[in-house]
Amino acid sequence: MTAMPPFLLIEPEDLLNMPDGENYELINGIPTEKAMSVDSEIIAFDLGTVLNLFVKQHDLGRAFGSNTGYVCFPNRPRQLRKPDVSFIAKERLPQDYRPKATITVAPDFVVEVISPNDVYGEVEAKLTDYHSAKVKLIWIICPESKTVLIRRLDDSAQVVRESGTLTGEDVIPGFEVKVADLFI
Domain boundaries, the chain: 12-183
- The larger pLDDT score, comparing residue 118 to residue 130, is at 130
Span 127-138, average pLDDT? 97
How far apart are the C-alpha atoms of 129 and 76, rounded to whole Å?
Answer: 9
The vertex-72 CA angle with 117 and 7, nearest 5°, equals 60
Nearest to 12 by CA among 23, 2, 27: 27
Rounded percentage of the chain residues whose pLDDT exceeds 70? 96
Q: Which stretch of 98-102, 105-109, 123-127, 176-180 has the lowest confidence by average pLDDT?
A: 98-102
CA-only gyration radius of the chain, Å? 17
Q: How confident is the model at residue 1 (pLDDT cuts 50, 70, 90)?
A: very low
- Report the mean per-residue pLDDT for the chain: 90
Cβ(32)–Cβ(125) below 8 Å: no
Full-model pTM? 0.90
Cβ(166)–Cβ(82) below 8 Å: no
Q: How confident is the model at residue 6 (pLDDT cuts 50, 70, 90)?
A: low
Q: What is the pLDDT of residue 71?
A: 94
Instruction: With a cut of 50, say whether residue 120 has pLDDT above it.
Output: yes
Instruction: With a cut of 90, say whether residue 20 has pLDDT above it.
Output: no
Cβ(97)–Cβ(62) below 8 Å: yes
Of 11-20, 70-79, 86-95, 138-147, which one has max mean pLDDT? Answer: 138-147
CATH topology of domain 12-183: tt1808, chain A (3.90.1570)
Give phi and psi for 62, each to the nearest 5: -130, 140
Instruction: With a cut of 70, say whether residue 72 has pLDDT above it.
Output: yes
Instruction: With a cut of 60, say whether residue 83 has pLDDT above it.
Output: yes
How far apart are the C-alpha atoms of 150 and 164, rounded to whole Å?
Answer: 12
Instruction: With a cut of 90, say whether residue 61 has pLDDT above it.
Output: yes
How far apart are the C-alpha atoms of 142 and 156, rounded to whole Å?
Answer: 18
Q: What is the pLDDT of residue 7?
A: 60
Q: How confident is the model at residue 28 (pLDDT cuts 50, 70, 90)?
A: confident
Q: What is the pLDDT of residue 96?
A: 75
Instruction: With a cut of 50, say whether residue 2 has pLDDT above it.
Output: no
